[in-house]
Amino acid sequence: MLKLDHVAIACTDLSEGTAWVEERLNVKLQPGGQHARYGTHNTLLGLADGLYLEVIAIDPEATPEAGHSWFGLDHFSGPPRLANWICQTDDLESAVAKAPPEAGSPRALTRGDLEWQITVPDDGALPFQGAFPTLIAWGQGVVHPSDQLSDSGCRLVSLSVKHPEMGRLSEMMDLADERVTLEEGAFGMRATFVTPSGLRTL
């Protein structure tokens, strides 16, 4: 069974992406860290219900150990936008076996006291433009990032994901989450949050 873990905002510049989210949600994000393997850095926002939001960009001062980035950032352009959704599983092997090949293979990563396995395609692209979720399994005993972040007063109320092949893709996801709507159609993603300033959509 897949469980929504977090959503990711991609951007070309972390400061710009962070400001974009802060302006729209009227909250402050917290510093995250660096991902040496893929040459990226991020900022984070704690959400209710064990979720969080991540803003991620290529770190201009880093050289990715893998030779490429991830989250489709090597070819990302334009303004910041919701680019990916990440689902947690207790059985990553089974989830990957059910997923399309484009979802990629599990990669073991660590940062500070965090350790996790996450699916990344060999070229670091986003599977189906991000319509198929990245899969993640946190290490045993790891304190989930949402439990380490301050309460922002924000809660995800809905996530809409559209793709021309969603009928086929949805059959490869063992997901039951009333907040997530999967539809066939022109690609697009939209997340709506309750914030201290009311409803806001990214």
Domain ranges of the chain: 3-151
Q: Is the pTM of this model over 0.75?
A: yes
Helix (H, G, I), strand (E, B) or coil at 103: helix
Buried b (16+ CB within 10 A) or exposed e, 165-179: ebeebbeebebeeee
116-120 CB contacts, 8 Å cutoff, 24+ apart: 116/142, 117/92, 118/86, 119/92, 120/38, 120/70
Q: How far apart are CA 162 and CA 188, in angstroms?
A: 5
Q: How far apart are CA 12 and CA 30, in angstroms?
A: 18
**Which residue bears the tokens 């439990």?**
147
Q: Tens-digit pLDDT profile for the chain (202 aa)?
A: 999 999 999 999 999 999 999 999 999 999 999 999 999 999 999 999 999 999 999 999 999 999 999 999 999 999 999 999 999 999 999 999 999 999 999 999 988 888 999 999 999 999 999 999 999 999 998 999 999 999 999 999 999 999 999 999 999 999 989 999 999 999 999 999 999 999 999 9
Q: How far apart are CA 19 and CA 16, in angstroms?
A: 5
Fold (CATH) for 3-151: 2,3-Dihydroxybiphenyl 1,2-Dioxygenase; domain 1 (3.10.180)
- pLDDT of 112: 85
For the chain, percent helix, then strand, then coil, each to nearest 5?
20, 40, 40
- pLDDT of 69: 97
Other C-beta atoms within 10 Å of 147: how many?
A: 10
Q: Using alpha carbons, list the distances in angstroms from residue 4 to 16, 49, 57, 146.
A: 26, 10, 21, 12
- pLDDT of 166: 97
Which residues, including other chains, have CB under 8 Å from residue 94's CB and lie 6 or more apart? none
Name the nearest CA neighbour of 132 among 110, 106, 100: 100
- pLDDT of 176: 84
- pLDDT of 113: 86
